[in-house]
Amino acid sequence: MSNAQIGGRIRTLREEKKLTVKELAARAGVSEKYIYEIERGRKSFSVKTLCRLARALSTSCDYIMFGGERTDRPPEETRILHVLDAMDDDRILRMRELIELFRDAADLL
């Protein structure tokens, strides 16, 4: 698991999804230069950035780090995660509570 291998997987995923470096950077909340450096294996990143990249690329953190079998998310799940990424912790907590209410109400039907 070298930075070059990890960066290569990120670049391959980005290209498969037809995203520019600028688009991936915006989705992950990092700079274009940082994406460029990661893809070339020159920079490592935090777990938080790993999670943001995985969400932005609709894949798992595990795949980015270790390769192997990919677990791409369905597009709708990815869209929901992008909405959640834009929220602060309090709003995410309220959204979770609402989702749980809807789930419980659906169980009653």
Q: How far apart are CA 8 and CA 12, in angstroms?
A: 6
Q: Which is more confidently placed, 1 or 48? A: 48
Q: Is the pLDDT assigned to residue 6 strictly greater than 80?
A: yes
What per-residue confidence (pLDDT) applies to 4? 92
Give domain limits for the chain.
1-72, 74-109
Assigned superfamily of 1-72 = lambda repressor-like DNA-binding domains (1.10.260.40)
Give pLDDT tens digits for 48-83. Answer: 999 999 989 988 888 899 887 666 666 677 677 778
What per-residue confidence (pLDDT) applies to 72? 64
Q: How far apart are CA 109 and CA 107, in angstroms?
A: 6
What per-residue confidence (pLDDT) applies to 19? 94
